[in-house]
Structure 1
């Protein structure tokens, strides 16, 4: 059944959106928390610089390696069960990382990475299933913004808690968010089962036929044909998905790779660039780099607002121009570094929202959404794992920052070209993806 003919379980949408907000707070906080106290962790555990680097690098690597498995698991166990598994894993990993010796710190970090991988993939599935077609961008923007807000709160809150109680308590305390999320989602599942009379996992009821029938707005023959189409879409393997949809996803793999390369390379090396090129001290360089993170909130909400009245390719074009301004500005006008940090930050928040809004609007079923999201994120996070070390090698080899910035420029150009093509193609899809039938 097309998205136009689907209706979320009535009365549940605000609670599901709140659940997405709480889940989003858990998808970056566990990774960011150790970065604020790496020195303390190293002194206490004896981990080398490489070992400390794994506290942030290992989860991102697992995002790339484990996403194909996550994409296959979610349709089998359902979206809600996946969310509960994600939050359980985050809590378990956080506890193990905070109480154990060095090897258990790394094991806990790995568990966190695997758990967050599930969360990364399942959120677009829930948004596609629950949110009306014209509000997908806003829901995705809220999800993206909350991840950034969680990251900033963690960076601000962890050091003072570490000074007062030690790094283990300071890192462990963020596990409370996982407990809150787990309890909240249990209540959501319980309420949904009650509303549906114990019908089982709501993710299996992808068609939502009863809503249209109750409203009296769906022709029975069209309803039956649409339901049959939806069931077929939910069961078909990826290779049988519409060619246009697979083409869009292939383009988005490159688009998200460009986004991830630009984001993680900038996040890793912008403070060093500012110190070496501009001569800023560590505090000033860190403050400027934080603008890159904070500004993402503007982009996350700006893209959906722009998409309401603009053509589908317009938000991508504006985000692309902002992304390009970052490397070009640092090359041509480095003295305006604060401006480029802000424009680049808006771009990284808006780019994430634009990419995953296209997936949620274009997919014809939960299975296609999970599979597409896994493919896009798998490629993007693999690029994110490789790009920062490569940029560091370029800096060491060339004894300067021009080559690393050119790497960011190449990544943003890839984002621009493939993102615009994908947006234009997806803009021709009917609601619910290519091959979906509108219910009038």
Structure 2
């Protein structure tokens, strides 16, 4: 791919990533206003944030099917159109519209989740680590934009218009994506030929490979910890440290913003080390969050920073291993779908499990141990999956995710 085209594609990926979390978390700052306006309880209101995460798991097969049928380029454009429609429908009056729009948003974002690692592995494999880091950082930037600006926009124009206003970013992403990908084959025989693995008969069926299930378990541990911590960290600090609501809310910002460090730091480490030691560094940083809050909670900004950097790095290193170990474009797409689908299906239960354990025990020790257990799953499954592949595993598995040269 020419340098100018590659640069435009990276910009398209960044704008796409900004829209893959922002429309979900935009609801959180105005949830009280939504609850009062729609006259719904806390459980129904919680669906506006948890339903998309559940879609990330259960809608992944649909996303993979769409991308296989329509092609990556057209499939992402369809998803962005659906995302814009969901954002508008969610703000139409009435609970059914709010839930229907949220469901559409979740399915649309699932397509983007699956597509991005495949596009990077296909078109940007020579700098996959750096682009994955940029993608992960953009996910968190999108979250911070909507968390920071939705409230002041809602104060001026109301929560419905505030949520719809983020559709501007969707339109921008669609325009750049179309400009970056026009002229490429769009499905059909050309796409099938691009997907083909000429040595496929020499390999076992992709879903029978232990690395596929290992990465699925690792991503489940990563995502469960992330969504569990994101949901309950402010309340934990308010209870344990006596912080005000605004100060406790600041902890979420520290946790999210610090992810940028991990998103860019992991690709740099992958240039120096193989994936396993990088993954262990990430897991050590992740473990510092629950252990630090248990043993020295007064240092919570430090633990939130370390945990935030680790969660940004965790996504990056897992996606890097998918790109590294996939033996063809079709296998990349299938692995990405299974790893994310299984991981997010588990992650959707994270906030509920952590909240239920907290309510049952009346404290935060056991919930933090549950988070530590999920990080342990990430550590074990990720370390096993990061073992050096056999030399005969195929070209995709011997490629460096950062430089494209043999490791």
Q: Same fold (TM over 0.5)?
A: yes
Q: 1:240 aligns with which of 205, 226, 245?
A: 205
Q: 1:299-338 residue pairs with structure 2 within 5 A?
A: 299-338=262-301
Name which one, 1 or 2, has greater alpha-carbon Rg. 1
2: CA distance between counterparts of 1:188 and 1:272?
43
1: CA distance between counterparts of 2:339 and 2:21?
18
Name the CA shift for 1:159/1:378 in 2 (closer, same or farther; >3 Å). same
CA contact (8 A) 2:67 2:115 kept: yes
Deviation at 1:230, TM superposition (A): 2.7
2: CA distance between counterparts of 1:275 and 1:324?
21
Q: 1:396 aligns with which of 359, 372, 376?
A: 359
Residue 104 of structure 1 is matched in structure 2 by: 97
2: CA distance between counterparts of 1:131 and 1:108?
33
Residue 433 of structure 1 is matched in structure 2 by: 397
Q: 2:18 aligns with which of 25, 29, 44?
A: 25
Is 1:340 matched up with 2:303?
yes
Q: 1:177 aligns with which of 169, 185, 188?
A: 169
Task: Work out the number of aligned pairs and report it.
Answer: 401
SS in 2 for 1:20: helix
Name the CA shift for 1:185/1:273 in 2 (closer, same or farther; >3 Å). same
Name the CA shift for 1:29/1:439 in 2 (closer, same or farther; >3 Å). closer
SS in 2 for 1:12: helix
Residue 222 of structure 1 is matched in structure 2 by: none
Residue 111 of structure 2 is matched in structure 1 by: 118
Deviations 1:161-212 (A, max 9, x none): 000110011100000111111222222233x35xxxxx6559945878xxxx
Residue 90 of structure 1 is matched in structure 2 by: 83
Residue 79 of structure 1 is matched in structure 2 by: 72
Name the CA shift for 1:303/1:174 in 2 (closer, same or farther; >3 Å). same
Deviation at 1:367, TM superposition (A): 1.3
1: CA distance between counterparts of 2:263 and 2:390?
20
Residue 150 of structure 1 is matched in structure 2 by: 142
SS in 2 for 1:99: coil
CA contact (8 A) 1:242 1:434 kept: no
Residue 336 of structure 2 is matched in structure 1 by: 373
CA contact (8 A) 2:22 2:142 kept: yes
Deviation at 1:382, TM superposition (A): 1.2
Q: Structure 2: any 5+ residue segments left out of the alignment?
A: none
Deviations 1:355-380 (A, max 9, x none): 00110121122211111111111111
Deviations 1:243-293 (A, max 9, x none): 6xx211111111111101111111011111111111111111111221011
SS in 1 for 2:59: helix
TM-score by length of 1: 0.86
2: CA distance between counterparts of 1:124 and 1:370?
8
TM-score by length of 2: 0.92
Deviations 1:134-172 (A, max 9, x none): x21111111010010010011111000000110011100
Q: 2:216 aligns with which of 232, 253, 259?
A: 253
Name the CA shift for 1:356/1:204 in 2 (closer, same or farther; >3 Å). farther
